Amino acid sequence: MHEATLTIGQLSARSGVAASALRYYERLGLIRAERTGGNQRRYARTELRRVAFIRISQQVGVSLEEIREALDSLPSGRTPTPDDWAALSKSWRDRLDERIRLLGKLRDDLDGCIGCGCLSLQRCTLYNPGDALAAEGPGARLMLPREGSGAA
């Protein structure tokens, strides 16, 4: 036990992420695996950290595509250090702060509206395009230009 590499089942068990999801992540280039002679995946233990980062990032509200970009910015030659991971986490922190701030604003506005009961589209600060709070939703939103968006 405790060998150098992990099978997909082991990585799945340890990370709590379904094997099918891990294969999906690999297709998207988020994680990598060596192959045995029989074409089975063998994961380096450092991949555990990548998977952890992926799941945490998703909780922050980052798309897999953006997570991939972030992971691509890790040093390619050497194994990432704690500092490398910390730098990535820090960039998410700003997003998280912004999300928390906007939700707080929404709550305050909602409180105001609970007071007045208006829910008026024009009057209310609540319904304010250009503020574009939550572009978290899924789905095809090709109509929205989304040019004035937040930080890169």
Partner DNA sequence: CCTTGAGTTGAAGTGTGCTTCAACTCCGAG
Partner DNA sequence: CTCGGAGTTGAAGCACACTTCAACTCAAGG
Footprint on this chain of its own copies (rule: CB under 8 A): 14-16, 18, 48-49, 51-53, 55-56, 58-61, 81-83, 85-86, 89-90, 92-93, 96-97, 99-100, 103-104, 106-107, 110-111, 113-121, 124, 126-127, 129, 133-134, 136-139, 143
Instruction: Name the residue among 86, 89, 14 with its Cα closest to residue 48.
Output: 14
Residues 118-137 contacting DNA, CB under 7 A: 137
Site string for DNA, 14-33 (x = CB under 7 A): ----xxxx-xxx-------x
Rounded to the nearest whole angstrom, what is the least distance from the CB of residue 131 to DNA in the complex? Answer: 16
Rounded to the nearest whole angstrom, what is the least distance from the CB of residue 87 to DNA in the complex? Answer: 22
Distance (Å, whole) CA 103 – CA 109:
10
Sheet bearing 34-35, strands edge to edge: 5-6, 41-44, 34-35
- DSSP class of residue 78? S
83 binds, among its own copies, DNA, none (CB under 5 to 8 A by kind): its own copies
Cα of 7 vs its chain's centroid, Å: 24
Cα of 45 vs its chain's centroid, Å: 21
Q: Which amino acid is at 93?
A: R
E strands in 13-125: 34-35, 41-44
Please work out the total of residues on this chain that contact DNA, with binding judged by CB under 7 A: 30
Q: Interface with DNA by CB under 7 A: which residues?
A: 7-10, 12, 18-21, 23-25, 33, 36-41, 58, 63-65, 137-143
